[in-house]
Amino acid sequence: MSDITTSITGRAGRITLRRPKALNAVTYEMVKAIDTALEDWRNDDAVSLVVIDAEGDKAFSAGGDIAELYATGKAGDYDFGRTFWRDEYRMNARLAEYEKPIVSFLQGFTMGGGMGVGCHVSHRVVGETSQIAMPECGIGLVPDVGGSMILANAPGHLGAYLGTTGARMGPADAILAGFADLYIPQETWPDLIATLETSGDTACLDQARVTPPQGRLEALRPEIDSHFAAPDLPALLASLRASDTDFASETLKSLSRASPLSLACTLDMMRALKGNTNIRDALALEYRFTFRAMEHGDFLEGIRAAIIDKDRSPNWRHDPDRLPSSAVAAMLAPLGDNELTF
């Protein structure tokens, strides 16, 4: 069975992720298939809109398929990862800039590379099982696939909190932070998709939307904004350590599991992209980090500890309290001829 299917049904271009046993993790072949379908349908008058969904109950897509990235990187081949990320980011930009409506249905986990497929489109639907997150710092990356742009433009300092801790967002929180648009009970999704295919019109979505159950982030915003306004990682950690609240304790625990280099670069990216809604700028900045992530960052060690050996004891390159600013600047510096282009 193919990992992905693309077809035209009625007035809709249909993209379905079909790796439920792998939580629909996005492979390089899936990236290329999505990009090709979007290009084919761009000027096809038979296609009025695009619907993206996924098989299985557990996940729309829990991320990118990192097994091959790790294997090639450990062998000293950094080109496969750089090519994967380059083409994936170009696909993310195409989704965000597409001339026709695209509707995504985001059940279960939507994380990392899955967020890049489902959360840049014009109509992002979440339901009662939806859990969206950007947990990249925990494996030595930064929030990428355009996620840095959404995070940087979340209310207050929510983006810095979500991007560094990898905290999961239920439906209300995902809408608050800018990762989703509509809460619609999942039992109605099949009928909605059938209506979209028949009509080629997104009006049915607004008619079906309801108010989501209350989230957790709104109540935490004052505390999040107080701590995450810190100018850098050491100041953020000092602020949290000086607080005796449950939130501060839980947040410190989350940050202690992540790569200090990734955390510091994420905080820098949040400041650099605040107010910028051009996804190409965000993707280009992300690519500077991911281009270097295997050779100069913590990515391979992060994957080893989390996925390969599963010892959850990564040996990060830096101490969070003594991380030189030059290391952060080096990861985000321009790439010259290797800069991401579109």
Rounded Cα distance, 57 and 62, in Å: 12
At residue 198, the pLDDT reads 98
Of 113, 114, 138, 140, which residue is the catalytic one? 113
CA–CA distances in Å: residue 213 to residues 24, 126, 186: 26, 12, 14
Contact 314, 123 (CB under 8 A): no
Q: CB-based contacts of 3: which residues, under 8 Å, 6+ apart?
A: 17, 18, 19, 27, 29, 30
Q: What is the Cα 278 distance to its own chain's centre?
A: 16
Q: Residue 131 corresponds to which amino acid?
A: Q
Q: Can you give the pLDDT of all 342 residues of the chain as single tens digits? A: 699 999 999 999 999 999 999 999 999 999 999 999 999 999 999 999 999 999 999 999 999 988 889 999 999 999 999 999 999 999 999 999 999 999 999 999 999 999 999 999 999 999 999 999 999 999 999 999 999 999 999 999 999 999 999 999 999 999 999 999 999 999 999 999 999 999 999 999 999 999 999 999 999 999 999 999 999 999 999 999 999 999 999 999 999 999 999 999 999 999 999 999 999 999 999 999 999 999 999 999 999 999 999 999 999 999 999 999 999 999 999 999 999 999
Residue linked to tokens 């109950």 = 57
Of 64, 81, 166, 178, which residue is the catalytic one? 64
Q: CB-based contacts of 51: which residues, under 8 Å, 6+ apart?
A: 12, 13, 14, 15, 102, 103, 104, 105, 193, 196, 197
As a whole number of Å, the end-to-end CA separation of the chain is 32
Of 53, 144, 173, 268, which residue is the catalytic one? 144
Examine the residue annotation and report whether 64 is marked as an active-site residue of this protein.
yes
Rounded Cα distance, 112 and 143, in Å: 7
pTM: 0.97
Residue ranges of alpha helices (H) inside 229-278 are 233-241, 246-256, 260-273
Rounded Cα distance, 110 and 127, in Å: 12
Contact 117, 53 (CB under 8 A): no
Examine the residue annotation and report whether 197 is marked as an active-site residue of this protein.
no
Query: In terms of residue numbers, what domain contains 110?
Result: 1-342
Mapped onto helix, strand or coil, the DSSP state of residue 173 is helix
Examine the residue annotation and report whether 65 is marked as an active-site residue of this protein.
no
Contact 117, 61 (CB under 8 A): yes
Tell me the chain's radius of gyration from C-alpha atoms: 19
At residue 65, the pLDDT reads 87
Q: What is the DSSP letter of 131?
A: E
At residue 1, the pLDDT reads 64
Exposed/middle/buried for residue 231 (C-beta within 10 Å: 0-12, 13-18, 19+): exposed
For residue 129, report the phi and psi dihedrals to the nearest 5 degrees: -95, -5
At residue 161, the pLDDT reads 98
Of 136, 181, 197, 268, which residue is the catalytic one? 136
Q: What's 213's domain CATH number?
A: 3.90.226.10
Nearest CA-CA partner of 119 in 107, 131, 104: 104
At residue 164, the pLDDT reads 98
Paired strand residues for 267 = none
How would DSSP label each residue in 302-319? HHIIIIIS-------SS-
CA–CA distances in Å: residue 33 to residues 45, 79, 117, 285, 308: 20, 20, 12, 25, 28
Number of domains in the chain: 1
Mapped onto helix, strand or coil, the DSSP state of residue 43 is coil
